[in-house]
Structure 1
Amino acid sequence: MALRAGGDLALLLPLLLALPAAGSVNGSGAEAAEPLRGRAEPGEAAPGGLNATVSTEVEFGVCTVTCGIGIREVLLTSGCPGTEAKCIVRVEECWGPVDCGWGIPISEGLACVKMPCIYIPPKNRFKYVWKMLIPNKTARILPDDSAIMEVCRDTRSVTFQCETQENGNIIASVKYTVYTTTEMETKKSRRIETGKSRRTMTDAILVFCLVTGIIVTVGVIFAMICMILHWAVVKSIWESKSGQDNQGKKLANKRSLCNTE
């Protein structure tokens, strides 16, 4: 699954907890390997207790993120225990583009906003550099170095950027815009008005369908009542029409006989 930039990064924890269980289900019969980088070389003992002489053909799973740093499974496609076609041999880190664009705050109220950096557990492994982006000026580095920063709204909109660094290298970057309280109230009122207009349109469509159904139903009932009240006339018309059809058939048969003779 893809991790949205600045989304709820705590979603990675259930995945990390679930991966050892997945290795057990795949029939390795051994403890899941710790997150490693790279792949097993020929002749090297494969993780999970697999024999070193078996084939080391591997297949890489989908990275859990589309940018920044994430994790992926490494699957063995040959030589798995039992009848398993594939089995997990390890979990390793994977990287996407550094720039994660604009993120979504994990908490946003009319007064303050909480914004997360991009990371994977453990979060104290990385260094976080928060910057305030100023148009046409050099970005100002903030003293806050936490993975999640909380700021209160100012009288003007402010753009923040968090760089996740490891060993001096930037591995992920995400930006946030913190709007003013007035702008947030305006956006909230616009969302309410949009919701009301959509509900109004939906109600109008439902009313139109209901009225159309009632009209059609009343028309059918009225036609059936007319047929019942004037059943004698309808029956005579139907019988006369049937008689004309029978007479026409008889004439056609006579003509065919005459032509035959």
Structure 2
Amino acid sequence: MQLEPAVLRLSASVSTEVEFGVCTVTCGIGIREVLLTSGCPGTEAKCIVRVEECRGPVDCGWGIPISEGLTCVKMPCIYIPPENRFKYVWRMFIPNKTAHILPNDAAIMEVCRDTHSVTFQCETQENGNEIASVKYMVYATTEMETKKSRIEGGQSRRTMTDAILVFCLVTGLIVTVGVISAMVFMILNRAVVKSIWESKSGQDNQDKKLANRRSLCNLE
């Protein structure tokens, strides 16, 4: 969609103090709100007067593909709607070779992986001036398979570690519940526990007395 100023109808005598919102991008081209700080309708302290373009540094560094599979990668240029307003120049960089300008002039390009990793760059131009530039690294098929194997191996190790951790937590929880249950049982049944303890102590005393008597008899 095309951005058009959303102008607020205000009296000419009203003060037009404005401030600018944060740009939606840190590089290339984006949009920002223009806010009125005085004379807004009702009790609003601020209100939007319009939306306008904003610019950042041209070089946006390395971008993130729209989609990335084991065979192909889909990469976007930097732009704001409408995309046909700008001109797009795609370049392909191969080590030890001169950059090659591709015939593709669309805002989005899809390429398939090769046997070697390749760097692509999209330049967004307006009226012959470069306003944004972004790069993408398209890894070779073998490198992607290696990365996938590493990721799967790391996930397997994490899964095993998580299983061990869960087992330890469950075991500790069961032991804790058992100890707490035993303590609660002893507190609720103090009389029974006390009687059992006293009967056991009495039996132990009788056993000791019998043992002493036997010792005396043996001495005699």
Give yes or no for TM over 0.5: yes
1:140 to 86, 90, 100: 100
Q: Specify the SS of the correspondent of 2:43.
A: coil
Q: One-letter code of the match for 2:36?
A: L
2:194 to 219, 228, 231: 231
CA distance in 2, matches of 1:170, 1:74: 25
Q: One-letter code of the match for 1:63?
A: C
Deviations 1:142-200 (A, max 9, x none): 12111111111111000000000111111111101111122112212222222222222
CA drift at 1:98: 1.1
CA drift at 1:130: 0.6
2:21 paired with 1:61: yes
Q: One-letter code of the match for 2:31?
A: I
CA distance in 2, matches of 1:122, 1:223: 73
Give the direction of change, closer, same or farther, for the CA distance of 1:223–1:74 in structure 2 (3 Å limit). closer
Q: Specify the SS of the correspondent of 2:161.
A: helix
User: Residue 34 of structure 1 aligns with which residue?
Assistant: 4
Tell me the C-alpha RMSD between the 2 structures.
Answer: 2.4
Aligned length: 196
Q: Is the 8 A contact 1:35 1:93 kept in 2?
A: no
Give the direction of change, closer, same or farther, for the CA distance of 1:192–1:158 in structure 2 (3 Å limit). same
CA drift at 1:136: 4.6
Deviations 1:25-79 (A, max 9, x none): xxxxxxxx9249xxxxxxxxxx321122211110111111121101111010001
Q: Is the 8 A contact 1:77 1:86 kept in 2?
A: yes
CA distance in 1, matches of 2:93, 2:106: 18
CA distance in 1, matches of 2:142, 2:149: 11
2:69 to 73, 91, 109: 109
Gaps of 5+ in 2: 199-220
Give the direction of change, closer, same or farther, for the CA distance of 1:198–1:35 in structure 2 (3 Å limit). farther
CA distance in 1, matches of 2:5, 2:155: 46
Q: One-letter code of the match for 2:195?
A: A
Q: One-letter code of the match for 1:91?
A: V
Q: Specify the SS of the correspondent of 1:129.
A: strand
User: Residue 129 of structure 1 aligns with which residue?
Assistant: 89
Give the direction of change, closer, same or farther, for the CA distance of 1:211–1:169 in structure 2 (3 Å limit). same
Q: TM-score, normalised by structure 2?
A: 0.80
Q: One-letter code of the match for 2:193?
A: H
Give the direction of change, closer, same or farther, for the CA distance of 1:168–1:216 in structure 2 (3 Å limit). same
Q: One-letter code of the match for 2:194?
A: W
CA distance in 1, matches of 2:166, 2:126: 57
Give the direction of change, closer, same or farther, for the CA distance of 1:219–1:160 in structure 2 (3 Å limit). same
Q: Is the 8 A contact 1:131 1:160 kept in 2?
A: yes
Deviations 1:181-227 (A, max 9, x none): 22112212222222222222222222111111212222333455567
Q: TM-score, normalised by structure 1?
A: 0.68
Gaps of 5+ in 1: 1-12, 17-32, 37-46, 236-261
User: Residue 200 of structure 1 aligns with which residue?
Assistant: 160
Q: One-letter code of the match for 1:231?
A: K
Moved more, 210-219 or 154-163: 210-219
Q: Percent identity?
A: 67
